[in-house]
Amino acid sequence: MAVETWNGVSLELWAKTLLIRETEERFLRLFSEGKLFGTVHTCIGQEYTAVAVAEALQPGDLIFSNHRCHGHYLARTGDVEGLTAEIMGRATGLCGGRGGSQHLCAAGFFSNGVQGGIVPVAAGLALAEELAGTSNLAAVFIGDGTLGEGVVYETLNIASKWALPLLVVLENNGYAQSTSQRETLAGELDARAEAFGIRAGRCELWDIPQLLARAEAAAAYVRRERKPFFLRVDTYRLMAHSKGDDDRDPAEVAAYRAKDPLGRFAAEHPEDAARLQREASALVDRAVAKAEAAPYAEAGPHDADPPAWRAVRWQPTTFQAHDRVVGRLHDALRNHLLQNEKLVLLGEDIAGPYGGAFKVTRQLSLEFPGRVRNTPISEAALVGLGNGLALNGWLPVCEIMFGDFLTLAFDQFLNHAAKFRYMYNEQVKVPLVIRTPMGGRRGYGATHSQSLEKHWLGVPHTRVLALHHRFDPYELVDRLLSNADRPTLLIENKLLYGLKTDAPPPRGFVVEHSDETFPTTRLRPLTEPDLVIFCYGGLLPEAEQAADRLFEEHDLAAEIVCPACLYPFNAAPLEESLRRTGKLLIVEEGQGFAALGAEVLAQLAERGAAPARVRRLAAPAHPIPSSGPLEKALLPGAAQLVETAAGMCADA
């Protein structure tokens, strides 16, 4: 006899749960038949958490899910066909076959298979809603194993401090892959959230009415109080972590299987269960059939960054404001804050009156309260917040106090920001801007003086810029914020901040800029050049000094080529300069191994434009010392440039 409810829960919810179960079991079969690409992490046994949370959410709410996301997605959308096609690699998949099992995106739903990193992104989604003044919240699903990730705590701290409408759902299934929680987690799980002043609630999967109620209450609390909530759901995964890799005690698994709510429902209502299962199975059959009939995903025109090689036209330099680099940066940010109410600045110590370690943001926080925010010392979380803001239609500009600590946010740049647009099949753009000072010569020592940009170069769908004083930083930032279509790292060499933007070039040289959006700058000697110096960012002033001295002391005319855009890199302007002289001197402040200089040479060589004589100057393989004279001797500067260039030209 058919029932309306079981255990006080409507059959509709049982149907949803069963659909998730049926879909994932089919995925496992398809996997063993070799019809899936990659792996699948099923939530078999855990489905009701997804259903309960989906029940508690409202249409405008947002979800960020993890590697085990099928259930979360199906509970929210019911889109079996899109999911099946996605996992089977078809063009009809919900992300066009680009994302696959762990990277879903549709209807305010996102997932990414990077443990921990999704949490600040979800917080960023919540921050965007909060800034926009909606009643929406963001929910994020994590497993207990992910409690090992530091960025989770960075985010809990910020979410609490900033009162973000963030619902953290901990699916506590006791294991991370094969590793038991007992082996890796210390202390109480809920206490982690409570330590940050975040309200925590606990429930278990095996008490469905309680689970539904607690999820409902949690979401209501977040929505009402505009505060985060930490919902711990004790649960158990009945199948292997992904494929057949289950090393857990079979007796333990069997005990939980006996408690499986869906199993109990089927045992008590075999006919209803059989009917619901038939219906679910039919949906899945149809989804698989449709997917199999659909074409495989194909490469699209925008998949790869287009080759950057493009001949340029040159414009002579124009008047620049009578200010210093730091002032121009400040003015550009301020102007965009005025113009664009979706611009948000995040960073450590950026609020006024301190205004940032290098004083770029000065008093902006006082003028734009709420949109210029001090963060805790949490590089990963603050860039993650930026990612969430960007996904949610805002324009975040994140300041990392020292470029050295960009490494702590590398995951956010590489595995989140750089990936979203592609793996979500162009459904999103990520206008994330990260600004950071780099470089030495200030005696800050090994961990505060590096030029690490080479580690950030070559990440598809991102951009790396290095500003300098010859192309108005205001203009650069203005163009960047006006064309913020991809994650962009803006490198600001520390020594440049104080430089005047209107200082004339050395006598006898003219400054020209290419017609690229982020131009190449050329310091052209008013005579035939003897060699070309290639540099960027903070080494431009050194190269200028060198060019000045090379002329005066060594009777040599050096042309300087200095790109603002290090990636995607256009070598054509450099190639143009090299046509007039076969000598190229490359200088980089960071490590030269596998850095931009090496890439530039490789590209020139491939084009048959390899210069006849080449030298590269870079920091030796050596951490940066603090002592002034030691540091000066180590980092390449004007003196080494002069010496090397003179040598190159002497014995040529």
Ligand X SMILES: Cc1ncc(C[n+]2csc(CCOP(=O)(O)OP(=O)(O)O)c2C)c(N)n1
Which residues 98-127 are close enough to bind other proteins by CB under 8 A? 105-108
Alpha carbon of residue 638 to chain centroid: 36
What do you get for the CA distance between the two ends of the chain, in Å?
A: 96
Contact status: 624 vs other proteins (CB under 8 A): no
Q: How far apart are CA 66 and CA 17, in angstroms?
A: 19
**Cα separation values, 196 from 105, 140, 299, 379, Å:** 30, 17, 46, 18
**CB 68 → ligand X: shortest distance, Å?**
4
For position 73 contacting ligand X by CB under 6 A, the verdict is no
Give the shortest CB-566-to-ligand X separation in angstroms: 27
DSSP 568: S
Give yes or no for residue 68 binding ligand X (CB under 6 A).
yes
The residue among 474 and 534 lying less far from other proteins, judged by its C-beta, is 474
Min CB(27)–ligand X separation in Å:
16
Nearer residue to other proteins within complex by CB, 175 or 509: 509
Please enumerate in sequence order all residues whose Cβ is within 8 A of that of 209, keeping only pairs 6 or more positions apart, or say none: 7, 8, 9
Q: Which stretch binds other proteins (CB under 8 A): 182-190, 206-214, 231-239, 482-490?
A: 482-490
Residue 488 to residues 397, 450, 485, 511, Cα–Cα distance (Å): 9, 19, 9, 26
527 binds, among ligand X, other proteins, none (CB under 5 to 8 A by kind): other proteins
Tokens of 571: 């070598």
Nearest to 355 by CA among 330, 383, 337, 376: 330
526 interacts with other proteins by CB under 8 A: yes
Residue 67 interacting with ligand X (CB under 6 A): yes
| Structure token digits, residue 350 | 């950026």
Applying CB under 8 A, which part among 174-182, 316-324, 405-413, 487-495 lies near other proteins?
316-324
Please tell me whether residue 181 binds other proteins under the rule CB under 8 A. Answer: no
Q: Which of residues 94-123 bind ligand X (CB under 6 A)?
A: 113-116
Residue 407 or 626 with smaller CB distance to ligand X: 407
Within positions 383 to 422, which residues make up the interface with other proteins, using CB under 8 A?
390-393, 395
Cα 140 to the chain's mean position, in Å? 17
Binding mask 148-187 for ligand X (x = CB under 6 A): -----------------------x-x-xxx----------
Q: Is 464 left (phi over 0), alpha (psi -120 to 50) or beta?
A: beta
Regarding 94 and contact with other proteins (CB under 8 A), the answer is yes
Q: How many residues bind ligand X (CB under 6 A)?
A: 17
- Binding mask 486-505 toward other proteins (x if CB under 8 A, else -) reads --------------x-xxxx
Binding mask 525-564 for ligand X (x = CB under 6 A): ----------------------------------------
Q: Distance (Å, rounded) from C-alpha 209 to C-alpha 55?
A: 12
Angle between helices 261-268 and 250-259 (to 10 degrees): 50
- Dist CA 292 CA 297 (whole Å): 12
Tell how strand 463-466 and strand 199-204 pair up. Answer: unpaired
Chain positions contacting ligand X, by CB under 6 A: 67-68, 113-116, 142-146, 171, 173, 175-177, 241
